[in-house]
Amino acid sequence: MSSKLLMPSHLSIFVTDPNSGTPVAHLPLYAEVTVPRITPVPPVNEIFWENLQGPIANFHLPDPQYVVDTALKALGASITSDGLHQLENDSDQAFELFTAMLEEVEEIRTATNREHISDIPPYELRSLMIAAFRRIGNEMGLGLVPENREQDIIWANPLGVLTTDHVGYASFDLKRLHPEVQIMLVEAIEARRNDPSVTSKVAIWIHPYGYDGKFDALSQARFAYDAIVARLPVKAHALPPALINLGPRALQNPSLTDWQLSPASFAASPHLLIGEDGTETLLPAPNLPLHEFHFYQTIRFTDNLDLPESDRIPSDLTNRVVLGIANDFQMAWYPLGHSLGQILYSLPLAPGESIKLAVIDWIRHDEAERTEDTSLLESLSHYQSRDRVISETVDAAIKEFQEGSSFMAGLAQSTGLSGVIGKFGVAAGLTGSLGGASSDSQGSRNISATTVQRLNDSITQASSAMREIQSTVVLQSVQSESEAIETRTVTNYNHSHTLTILYYEVLRHFRILTKLFEQRPVVLVKIHTGTLTELRGFNIPPYRIHSQEQNILENRRILEPVLLDQRHKEGFDALERIVYRRERAKIESPTEIADPGDKNFKEFSIIITTGGQVCNPDPSSGEFIDIRVRVEMLDGSKIELFANARPEPKTNVLNSIGSFCYKDVDETLTGIVDSNYQSINWREIDRLQLQVDLGGGLDDISFTHFIVNAHEINGELINLANLNQFFRTETATTLPLPIKKAPSPSKVVTPSEYIEDEVKKNLLIDHLRYHESYYERILLLNLSTQKREDMLNNLKFPDGTTALDKVENRVLDVIGGYMVFPCAKQIWKEKIRAKIEEQGNREDQDAPLPIDERLITLPTRGIFAEGKLGHNSVSEIIDDDRFWKWEEHPIPFEAPDINPVTPIQPQPQQISATPTAFPQSLVNIVNPTAAPDPSGLSAALSLLGTPNIFRDMSGREEVADLLKKLAEESVDIPEAANRAREIQTRYGTELDKNEKDLQARIVEAITRPTGTPAQTGQPEQQTSAQQEKQHLENQDKKLEIASKLPKQQRDTVRQHVTQEITKKKTVWTILFSSDWVGEIGQPMLASYSAKVVFGVLVDDVQYTIEQYTDEQIVWQVEHEKVPLSATFSAKQITPIDGSFQVTVPGMAVEDLHLVPKNYSIPLRTNAPKLPDEMKYTVNKIQVDPKSPILHFKGTATLKTKTVKIAVKVNGEGELTGEWGRDFEKEATIDIVKLAVKSTLKAATRIMIGGEAGIEGTFEILYLESYEVKQI
């Protein structure tokens, strides 16, 4: 037997009283494994052989030589060399020593009921003799050999301190020893078994507390299968109570070995649990199994077991039907008893203390489930087209003629005469004054205003809105309340000691026995439910997906309780809601939503504006130009447009003879779709191609503007292109015309609840597929009897029987996709049993499976209470002079009473069933903006209606004032004349000044720029031809108004108009190219266009012609202003083709050979692969004053990311399974959607669900960013 089997796991010690033989409990034991220093025993003189013959002869021993040899060895180990010399010289003393030793050993032999001394084992006999020699030799004054001391130990490995339990048992764990010590211990046990007299190199010393001595466990040679057993005869000692109350452990590592050696150690100790009186006893349950379980181990046979040809399994069924045996194992649980566990709660009470407790156990259970299924469908399809033209002309004139005159005259005379007549004197005088004033003022004012306003506003709207909400609320509510009230009073009636009540956990021990119960013949049949394995690969029809989802719901009661991840439990509810909505949609009528891009065209109008190079209008020159138009479809086909719809004659030349012969003239071409096509749908059109052919010696033609309009079959006119682009050619060429893309249809916003349900459903299905073998086994085990019968009946044998005829329709197990059935065919059963017997009789066959035993401990729901009194008295010593009669005077202090306990009234909670309110609409119809009101006439009328716009030219007020002063003689005639001249001069000068100011204001109003946003509001965007026409009309109106002004102002206006019409424009040249940067270092092939902004007006924005190329593009834009910014657009980018491609090169991965192949991996998300258009705006263009050339460079930056994906591989070396989602998970969906390509770089072989596969390292090349910079 190997040392591994002999390695003991426990040191088991039994301690008994040597006199009574009763177990010694609560005895602390210290144990250690030591290597002692071995002192050789000196040889004993042969003279002692003669001294022993006499005493031994008195005992009549059957084997005296055995006793003599043991006695001499014990003598050398007990008496020193000086003592031995003393005995050699004194034979009488030696005879007396041997006689007394044998008598003492004989007493022990009699006490142990042995027949002869020679019946005592060597190790025990030697110990008894050594003890006797040492005691008697000490009395005789002989020198004694010192006992083994601590300094005689080379080294020691302590095992610790344990305390014996109530049956005197303690067990140390030897598995904690160092491996080298374990090897030495095994060797010592082997040596001790082979030779009992050998000196051991290792000792296991046991030191009982309170005992002056120690025991060597190895010397007793008690060796169990996996334990070293020692029996110590030690008298019980009274240990301090404090040490006992510590509750030290008796089993260091409890196991089944301890139970086999000391079963009572695992049963509840009545003394420990109940108290000293033992009023209650907990006894172990009967030795019968409490539980029995059976499980199977299935073994398949790979041969036909020498079956007759008629009874063999056909070759086409060997992969579906296999014979085998099922080992039926039985597991039985045997109860071993109870014991105390940890202290759960303690209640300390002081002397005389009383505690009243009220325990109210109130439980309320509310279980409410509110299921709301709200379906909200809201959509809006709105199409609005508006054409608006506003023109306003204001013609205002004010004329006034003023004529004023003033006449003033004044005359004054005085005459006097005096004389003497006689005695009297005579005097006479005459005074006269004459004044006159005449004022005449004539005026004529003629105000005329004329306004012409044209407002053409055409608005076309097509709106279709639909809004629907359906809400279903289901409520399930369960409410329950329970209340338990318990009052308790705990009192310590001891007046001098404390009381502690300890509540212990009660443990229960079981022995678990597992053994082979039976071997039975079985038949393994491979059956698939199809619930989880139905879907494989991609592009699976929807009806199959729906069928699988329905299967999952049908098996919900089986799958839901055994889910490995309970987070996916909500997926079943989500799946039910999805199936319900899908079934309801089959009954409801779908709601149609208008599609603004679903337009069918039959006729196209192309307006082309000629440039500086045209045909010669002289018919004799022979020059002509032919223009043909083709509509290029998205699928690559081309549809020709014809000049008329008649079958014959039919021509594809759209222009008439003599067209394109004059500069800056709009030529309109009308093309009708070929009669082979009813119409062309807008969404299917890619672009238009103009085929320009020159003939008759014409070598140069140029165009400046292109307008493409399409006529919808219902009469609606839709503008498809408006390109203000210069084009010139000297040879026949094809000019691509990009058109506006059809607007996207209005998408129905999916409610967030629907999205959440889809996510939960997908996560559930992914989880079930990932753990397919686990859930498939559960489904097979839960198949109904009828279902199994149908499946077995479908498995036909050549003899006309089915698998149901050969098995019992009872499933024992499921293993590797096979269902294990008991075999019912007699010949198969006999051959299988013969195979079992043959295997059992083989000499090289391993031993039968051993019985497996284990020990487990489980907590119970019960607890055990034990009261412990304190050891210290808190009362003083009784003295008659003191008060001590407690019974006459009880303690007056009591705990206050607790108010009566009132049960809690149930309060059921009301649950609202109000459905979710209708949400606010997220889509609205946008109303057209209001057209601006004409403002020119109101401003002119406001100016003309200004009071006192012309001053009084007559000077009436000044003349009246002057006349007044003349009448009052406050001014003399010369001063009045001066004042009159001042009035005349002032009014004449101001008249000229006012007239000049008025004319200046008119000129300023005429020459001010018109059409600014501040004056007319932001206008709708107009075509270039409309803008040019409006500009010329405004200049004509300015000249018409200026014709009524004086010559100087009229010339100013004419000069301004001339500058506006002949304003010089700059031809700006834009050079643009775009490259890939990263793994692909090459030009980027795409369809490019640009928008150049020169100012804030609509006229200032110029668009280039879209070109599909990977070379440098040259655009020319003509404008009088300096460019401010440019926006570049890239479409139809190559090599990005809208799908996620994975390239797998041919390689060998161990025994798997991968074939080179490109895989197109569909993505789970519905988002587009790449945006339809990538744009980048360059702001603040740097312009060289000396050069009109602008150079721009586009850069598409590529990056790589490496991910590891596990993929299954089929027999043809192709990758299979749904591995597209792994790319989305490992590389993120954002990178996958921008991926250019992905390549397998390396791989290692793995197994996936029992099938061959690889763990591949894939490198993904994706677009990180796109930007344009000015060079």
Per DSSP, the residues of 507-552 read EEEEEEEEEEEEEEEEEEEE----TTTS--SS---HHHHHHHHHHH
The domain boundary residue, chosen from 738, 771, 796: 738
Whether residues 134 and 63 fall in one domain = yes
Q: Which domain does 1027 fall in, by range? A: 955-1013+1022-1061
Contact present, 88 and 42 (Cβ < 8 Å):
no
pLDDT-derived band at 380 (thresholds 50, 70, 90) equals: low
Q: Is the pLDDT of residue 982 over 80?
A: no
Helices and strands: H and E segment counts in the chain? 25, 41
Distance CA 879, CA 103 (A): 60
Which pLDDT tens digit goes with each residue over 29-73? Answer: 999 998 875 555 556 656 676 667 777 777 777 777 788 878 877
Nearest to 663 by CA among 621, 609, 706, 618: 609
Distance CA 684, CA 634 (A): 6
Q: Between these two residues, 911 and 721, which has the higher pLDDT value? A: 721
- Residue ending a domain, choose from 122, 154, 186: 154
Tell me the two tokens of residue 554: 């049908």
Residue 182 lies in a domain: yes
Residue 388 lies inside a defined structural domain of this protein: no
Pairing assessment for the beta strands 10-16 and 227-233 based on DSSP bridges: parallel
Judge if 713 and 606 occupy the same domain: yes
Q: Are 944 and 398 in contact (CB under 8 A)?
A: yes
pLDDT of residue 1003: 55
- Cα separation of 272 and 284, whole Å? 15
Cα 167–173–177 angle (5° rounding)?
155
Judge whether 811 and 779 are in contact, CB under 8 Å: no
Q: Which helix (H) or strand (E) holds 1260?
A: strand 1251-1270
In a domain, 274, yes or no: no
Do 707 and 619 share a structural domain? yes
- Checking if the pLDDT of 258 tops 60, the result is yes
100 shares its domain with 168:
no
In this prediction, residues 419-434 reach a mean pLDDT of 48
The rounded distance, in Å, linking the Cα atoms of 323 and 308 is 14
Lowest mean pLDDT among 397-401, 473-477, 1146-1150, 1163-1167: 1163-1167
Query: Cα 1155 vs. chain centroid, distance in angstroms?
Result: 35
So what's the pLDDT on residue 1020?
45
Q: Is the pLDDT of residue 518 over 50?
A: yes
Burial class (CB in 10 A: 0-12, 13-18, 19+), 258: buried
Peptide linkage before 649 cis (omega within 30 of 0) = yes
CA 1189 from chain center: how many Å?
51
Distance CA 1015, CA 1034 (A): 15
Spatial CA neighbour of 98 closest among 121, 115, 117: 117
What is the Rg, in whole angstroms, of the alpha carbon atoms belonging to the chain? 60
What pLDDT score was predicted for residue 181? 86
992: amino acid identity, one letter: D
- Of 239-248, 276-285, 355-364, 970-979, the range with the highest mean pLDDT is 355-364
> Closest by alpha carbon to 780, among 524, 526, 529, 525?
529
Sign of CA dihedral 44, 45, 46, 49: negative
Confidence of residue 15 (pLDDT cuts 50, 70, 90): very high
Question: For strand 1251-1270 and strand 666-673, is the pairing parallel, antiparallel, or unpaired?
Answer: unpaired
CA 1165/CA 1170 separation, integer angstroms: 12
pLDDT value for 957: 67
Question: Per 3-state DSSP, what percentage of the chain is helix, strand, and coil (rounded to 5)?
Answer: 25, 40, 35
Amino acid at residue number 40? P
Query: In 10 A of CB 997, how many CB atoms?
Result: 10
pLDDT average, residue stretch 406-417: 49
Of 391, 30, 480, nearest in space to 234 by CA: 30
pLDDT at 821 over 90: yes
One DSSP character per residue, 920-984 reads PPS--PPPPPPPPPP-HHHHHHHHHT-TTSS--SS-HHHHHHHHHHHHTT-S-HHHHHHHHHHHH
> What integer is the mean pLDDT of 124-130?
80
Torsion sign across C-alpha atoms 238, 242, 245, 249: negative
Q: What percentage of the chain carries pLDDT values higher than 70?
A: 68
Identify the band that residue 909 occupies on the pLDDT scale cut at 50, 70 and 90.
low
Residues 992 and 1077 in one domain: no
Q: Would you state the structure tokens that stand for residue 861, as one six-digit string?
A: 């729901």
Output the average pLDDT for the chain.
Answer: 76
Instruction: Answer whether residue 794 shows pLDDT above 70.
Output: yes
pLDDT digit string, tens, across residues 698-747:
888 888 889 999 988 888 888 888 888 888 887 888 888 888 888 887 67
Widest pairwise Cα distance in the chain: 234
Q: Which two tokens stand for residue 1119?
A: 């404008």
pLDDT at position 265 is 81
Query: How confident is the model over 115-136, as a mean pLDDT?
Result: 80
Mean pLDDT of 62-87: 80
1084, 1196 contact by CB (below 8 A): yes
Helix spans in 154-194 (H)? 179-194
Residues 1088 and 1005 in one domain: no
- Residue appearing with tokens 């086909």: 637
**Residue 643 belongs to domain with CATH number:** 2.60.60.20
Residue 500 placed within a domain: no
Query: What is the arithmetic mean of pLDDT over 175-201?
Result: 82
Q: According to the model, what pLDDT value does residue 879 have?
A: 63
CB neighbourhood size of 742 (10 A): 18
Taking the alpha carbons at both ends of the chain, their separation in whole angstroms is 90
Question: Do 656 and 680 sit in the same domain of this protein?
Answer: yes
* Residue 723 covered by a domain: yes
Distance from C-alpha of 181 to C-alpha of 174, rounded to nearest angstrom: 10
Q: Which amino acid is at 1123?
A: P
CA angle 963, 967, 972 (to 5 degrees): 80
List, in order, residues 6 or more apart from 889 with CB less than 8 Å away: 883
Q: Does residue 275 surpass a pLDDT of 80?
A: no
Please tell me the total number of residues recorded for the chain in this structure. Answer: 1271
Same domain, 604 and 701: yes
Q: Are residues 120 and 224 in the same domain?
A: no
Q: Are 267 and 337 in contact (CB under 8 A)?
A: yes
Least trusted range by pLDDT, from 231-235, 486-490, 529-533, 706-710: 529-533
Domain boundary among 694, 719, 738: 738
| Judgement on whether residues 1089 and 1233 belong to the same structural domain of the protein | yes
Q: Are 1043 and 1123 in the same domain?
A: no
Lowest mean pLDDT among 69-83, 464-478, 901-915: 901-915
pLDDT > 50? residue 1013: no
Pure H helices in 842-881: none
Asked whether 543 and 368 are in contact (CB, 8 A), the reply is no
Predicted confidence (pLDDT) at residue 1115 exceeds the cutoff of 80 = yes
In this structure, the strands spanning 733-738 and 1140-1144 are: unpaired
Distance CA 620, CA 1234 (A): 61
Split at pLDDT 50, 70, 90, the class of 97 is confident
State whether 606 and 727 are in the same domain.
yes
The b/e string for 41-75 (b: 16+ C-beta within 10 A; e otherwise) is eeebeeebeebbeebbeebebeebeebbebbbbbb
Q: Is the dihedral of CA 1133, 1137, 1141, 1144 positive or negative?
A: negative
> Residue 94 has what pLDDT?
81
CA–centroid distance for 209 within its chain = 64
Q: Which residues pair with 712 in a beta bridge?
A: 601
Q: Is the dihedral of CA 184, 187, 191, 192 positive or negative?
A: positive
Q: Give the pLDDT score at 898.
A: 65
Q: How many domains does the chain have?
A: 5
Is 407 a member of any domain?
A: no
Mean pLDDT of 168-190: 88
| Confidence class for position 171, pLDDT limits 50, 70, 90 | very high
Cis peptide before 1135 (omega within 30 of 0): yes
pTM greater than the 0.85 cutoff: no
Mean pLDDT highest for which of 131-145, 232-246, 398-412, 1214-1228?
131-145
What is the DSSP annotation of 385-426?
EEEEEEEEEEEEEEEEEEEEEEEEEEEEEEEEEEEEETTEEE
Tens digit of each residue's pLDDT (9 = 90 or more) over 918-928: 666 655 555 66
Q: Locate 823 and state its tokens.
A: 């075999």
Query: Is position 416 within any domain?
Result: no
Tens-place pLDDT, residues 825-852:
888 888 888 888 877 655 545 555 567 8
Residue 855: predicted pLDDT: 83
Measured distance CA(311)–CA(828) in Å, rounded:
8
The answer to the question of residue 390 being in a domain is no
**230 pLDDT tier (thresholds 50, 70, 90):** very high
**What's the pLDDT score for residue 574?**
92
CA–CA separation, 323 vs 821, rounded Å? 10
